[in-house]
Amino acid sequence: MRIDDGWLEGARRLPSPNQDRRPAGEVSLLVLHSISLPPGEFGGEHIERLFTNRLDPAVHPFFGSIAGLRVSAHLLIRRDGECVQFVPFEARAWHAGRSRWRDGPNERQALNDFALGIELEGDEVTPYTGAQYRALARTTAALLARYPELTSDRITSHARVAPLRKSDPGPAFDWAYFRQELEKKSVLGDE
């Protein structure tokens, strides 16, 4: 798997208007998220509609509370492992919100300036699928190869960068299994 001009090879492209230029061009952090729309339901086009400002608030009562949000992620990994890319990795997606990252002795804010955001279709209590872990490992290996400032110790969760506000991807995300899959990709190369 490769990244060409900021786009992941094999990912379905669905450009989001919710993006802009990175101030310094730095890509040095990967933030993992989870999303399901409506909450606890998987499948459908609601996530894609949210990230492209086309979510219809009349479709579900919950949508009225989020329809005006202007958010995006670089990539969504669906339950079947399909990757949908909304923002090229070189651009700034609007995913981390108010958040903080301890970068050595310094604390940094405005994480969207230097972070990549990957959304996993899921919630905090439902186990993620093997297809999602494999797709995430392949994607992460490609990102680590492409961006030298991004290292495996700079992969985190939304919960860790915004702990009082967010808890995703939650306890259902198996960090050890993800790291094992990532290690396989790093040792064996891309399949």
For 121, the enclosing helix (H) or strand (E) is strand 115-121
Q: Decide if 119 is catalytic.
A: yes
Compute the Cα dihedral for 96, 99, 92, 68 and give only its sign: positive
* Beta carbons of 143 and 3 less than 8 angstroms apart: yes
Tokens of 45: 């086009």
Which of the following is catalytic: 26, 107, 119, 181? 119
Place of tokens 């070189």: 90
Distance, CA of 149 to CA of 162 (rounded, Å)? 22
Distance, CA of 11 to CA of 159 (rounded, Å)? 26
Closest Cα to residue 43, out of 82, 88, 94?
A: 82
Tokens of 156: 């985190």
Catalytic residues: 119
